[in-house]
Amino acid sequence: MIRSVITATGSYIPETIVRNQDFLTTPFFSQDGLALATPPTTLLDQFEAITGIHQRRYARPHQQASDLGLLAAQQALSSAGIDPETLDYLIVAHNFGDVAHQSNRVSLVPSLASRIKAGLAIKNPQCVAYDLAFGCPGWLEGVIQANYYIQSGDAQRCLIIGTETLSRVIDPGDRDSLLFSDGSGAIILEACSTGQTGLLAHHTQTHAYEHVNLLKMDKAYQHTDDKRADRFMKMSGRKLYEFALQQVPQVIKRALDKAGISLTVIKKILIHQANQKMDVAILNRLFKLYDQECPDLELMPMTISWLGNSSVATIPTLLDLIRRGQLVNQRIAVGDTIVLASVGAGMSINAVVYQF
């Protein structure tokens, strides 16, 4: 039986550290354009208590999303000694393409995948490079698509990258902008005909009818004549929280059911690093579906406190850090079965069950 197996991981964590205290003099506004009366220290303390974030990473001015993705891809390839020319597919998940410093204009032509393929100096035209826009679950959906190529016999080796520079598309006057960050992560997925390891099952849903606008592009909160002011990422935080809490555990359970695996055997749950309070609530709700008490939170590794929410990059970055021993008290051993899950704009949710 052919299985899709992760043979390499890589990530790039931007060097610029932006701490919460760096926003002490930043004016924040309500949706109505009114300055928030809450003192900055109180606002930032409240933000950290809810999200768990005390700092995040931003790309350097000369870097764009494709640059970050290239660095993560190079690390994954070099870590396993893989020749880029042997790749059958190069899939890049993102939401905004390349966005230059001090601009929120999106550049999508050529595709980021083609830019990264060129950056890797891949000459083989049989290596198909394309982008995938699927909200925060985009990288995981790229893994699911690559698995289908492998299962069909169309591919032997695929590179899946998640890369984002959210710092370029956030409204500086919106306190929700404190959530977002930049980064990239990548894996190489290969066909394996021996053993029982690899991708065991997955499940994906899109809840567009009622929830399509929970995340969208809209105007800046501060009234301004800036021509860029109508192109900032906005979210309905409370409604998004409630949606995720209700739906994500159900999708994870359906993936586990497809794999014929009980939650009790899962060693790690790698969930999109969106908001610490929300992720903990999702974990609690998942265990309630199995009539179990929530376990020690080491089951669900977190990077959001120091990396923020880098959208499609959060899960592959988290996985790479664990595999390279960069997270304290976190490891994945041979034979461990894990769950990867994400939720985001659209509104889409996906989950993968994977055995190492």
Structural domains in the chain? Answer: 3-196 (3.40.47.10), 199-355 (3.40.47.10)
Cα dist. 182→53, 84, 146, 311 in Å?
Answer: 14, 25, 24, 8
- Per DSSP, the three-state class of 336 is coil
CB-count exposure of residue 1 (10 Å: 0-12, 13-18, 19+): exposed
What span, in angstroms and rounded, lies between the C-alpha atoms of 219 and 160?
A: 32
Q: CB within 8 A of 161, min separation 6: which ones?
A: 69, 72, 73, 90, 91, 92, 93, 113, 116, 139, 142, 184, 185, 186, 316
Q: What is the pLDDT along the chain (356 residues), one digit of tens a residue?
A: 889 999 999 999 999 999 999 999 888 888 877 888 888 899 899 999 989 999 999 999 999 999 999 999 999 999 999 999 999 999 999 999 999 988 878 888 999 999 999 999 999 999 999 999 999 999 999 999 999 999 999 999 999 999 999 999 888 888 889 999 999 999 999 999 877 789 999 999 999 988 988 878 777 777 766 655 567 877 777 898 999 999 999 999 999 999 999 999 999 999 999 999 999 999 999 999 998 888 888 899 999 999 999 999 999 999 999 999 999 889 999 999 999 999 998 899 999 999 99
- Per DSSP, the three-state class of 22 is helix
The whole-number pLDDT of residue 230 equals 62
The closest alpha carbon to 309, from 166, 152, 154, belongs to 166
The whole-number pLDDT of residue 171 equals 85
